[in-house]
Amino acid sequence: MSEKKKQSLLMGALAGSFGVFLSKALGLFYVVPLNQFAGETNMAFYSIAYSYYDLLLKICGAGIPFAIAALVAKYYSRNDYKTVLLVRKLGTSFIMASSFIIAVIFLLIARPLATSTMGVEASVEDVNALYNLFRILTIAIIFVPLLSSIRGYYQGLKRLDVYASSQVIEQFVRVFGIIALGYIFVQILSFDGIWAIYMAMLSASVAAIITIIYMLVMTRKQSRQVIVLAECQSTSCKNQKEVFIELISLGIPYVIISFLGTSSSIVNSNFFMSYAPTANIAYEDALLVLGILQVNCNKIAAIPQVLTLGFSAGLVPYLTESLEKQDYRLLQRQLSDIFNTVFYLLIPVVMAFILFAKAIYFIMYGNANLDLGSEVFMISNLQTITDTIAPILSSILITLRHRKSAIGILGISFAIKFISFFPFISLTGYAGMIYSSVLCSLVVIVFGFVFLKKNYNFKLKNCLKKLLFIFISSFLCMIPSLIISFFVPFNYDSKLICLLLMIVYALISGSLYLVITYFFYLPQSIFHVKGKDILKVFRRFRA
């Protein structure tokens, strides 16, 4: 296998990660002002509502846009333009109908769901706040899946420019809406802080509607071209029933997998508030911790977790090609490349998060509840590691056509999350949410690696050997920064000073990490480049 082919999977996945990173970075902009407008206690309402929003979107839309993209690409390549339009019609109709039905059902159960979620100690005002958020959420349930179906269609036509630009526009409009509307209602009109949360949830719908309009306007010419080609087509399209069955059979497994993959946030959002008093956690403390963990900490964790989305998207064509050719030696190398690269990039970042948790949390969110926030953030980094690796393993199993196995493993992990959640909360307090989530993801990781070893003779031992050297390198590169921070401590009265110090430490530790891992021959073996080639890259960058 040539060096170029060896690097193609990694470069494609890393390029995908970089694109997602930009989107996530844009998403970080709203968390700090939203905290200031709403207050950290109210962030728990956003956390709970967003968990349901994410879950319902997966039920309504996950899988079907993927199926639309796959079938559009399939029939477009066969010049069957009539079936392409049929796929779009059936897919969009199915998503619109299912979204509307689920939105209506959710609206009907919103009041009792808000009451049970908040627990018996919740005030009427708190229950009403969550109920209002659920009602606002139903608007997004209708429009956001529709946007996903339109994206899926143009993704199938390989209009990736439209696909990518629509994501940027949606995120930009959403972030701008959260900040602008939150400022207007709370800072100018002096409404209660919960209105910033209302506007944050409403912004998702506004962003989806504006992006839909943008896509329809920008793709009129492309849409017309497909219609003209369909009118000129002499053959008839596929049977409607067959296409619909094909659409559902492709999409539904992804819906199930997406649902099971959100087990941690589902269980946390549904049961923590009601169970917290049993574990002697005061209601206000529970509300505060839930918001810190599932909004503040998750936003920071999203930075290294972009590897999940990048590699999940990038590995599909390469692993599929190796599987089709039955080139299992190449497949084993690709699997090793994926995990070695993730470990190489993930571990030093998470270690820095753990060692400098307080400073990083202060830079992001200020002094409010700093001790509690930094403590939660430090512990949550265990989950950051497992929640980055587990989804990649699930995606690999799906790509290698083991959907039943993936669903079975995720089902077991969901059950373990639920079963372990309550005793862990009783034993360790709020940290039980994190520990049960880590255990849940570890189940996926262990079963996933065992499955790959059994079916594809995956050499896990080689990856673990590299992982050990990555841990050693990550720890060694942090030592000088830790020593300097002892003599030049962080100033928790100035975000700017803390930020400048963190930049200095990042440069020192990052440079040392590259040097130490170069000595251990890690980047050379992981990225399949020679030492002199790495030096050439640095010389070009310096020039």
Closest CA to 417 of 273, 259, 264: 264
Q: What pLDDT, in 10s, does the model give residues 374-398? A: 999 999 999 999 988 888 888 788 7
Residues in Cβ contact with 466 at an 8 Å cutoff, skipping those fewer than 6 apart: 340, 343, 344, 522, 525, 526
Helix axes 298-324, 370-399, angle to 10 degrees: 10
Q: What pLDDT, in 10s, does the model give residues 265-274? A: 888 888 898 8
- Looking at residue 67, what is its pLDDT? 80
Extended strands (E) in 219-282: none
Q: How far is CA 296 from CA 215, 267, 313, 317, in A?
A: 32, 18, 26, 34
- Average of per-residue pLDDT values in the chain: 83
Q: How far is CA 407 from CA 395, 411, 413, 445, 453, in A?
A: 11, 6, 10, 14, 18
Tokens 């064509």 correspond to what residue?
A: 317
Angstrom distance (rounded) from CA 28 to CA 447: 33
Q: Which of 183-197, 292-306, 317-331, 394-408 has the highest mean pLDDT?
A: 183-197
> How confident is residue 1, by pLDDT bands cut at 50, 70 and 90?
very low
- Looking at residue 177, what is its pLDDT? 92
Mean pLDDT over 221-235 rounds to: 82
358-386: burial string, b at 16+ Cβ within 10 Å, e else = bbbbbbbbbeebeebbbbbbbbbbbbbbb
Give helix then strand counts, H and E, for the chain: 22, 0
The sign of the dihedral angle between the CA atoms of 123, 125, 131, 134 is negative
State phi, psi for 457 to the nearest 5 degrees.
Answer: 55, 40
> Is the per-residue pLDDT at 28 higher than 70?
no
Angstrom distance (rounded) from CA 495 to CA 498: 5
Q: Are 139 and 100 in contact, with CB atoms under 8 Å apart?
A: no
- Looking at residue 537, what is its pLDDT? 46
Angstrom distance (rounded) from CA 391 to CA 306: 11
- Looking at residue 27, what is its pLDDT? 64
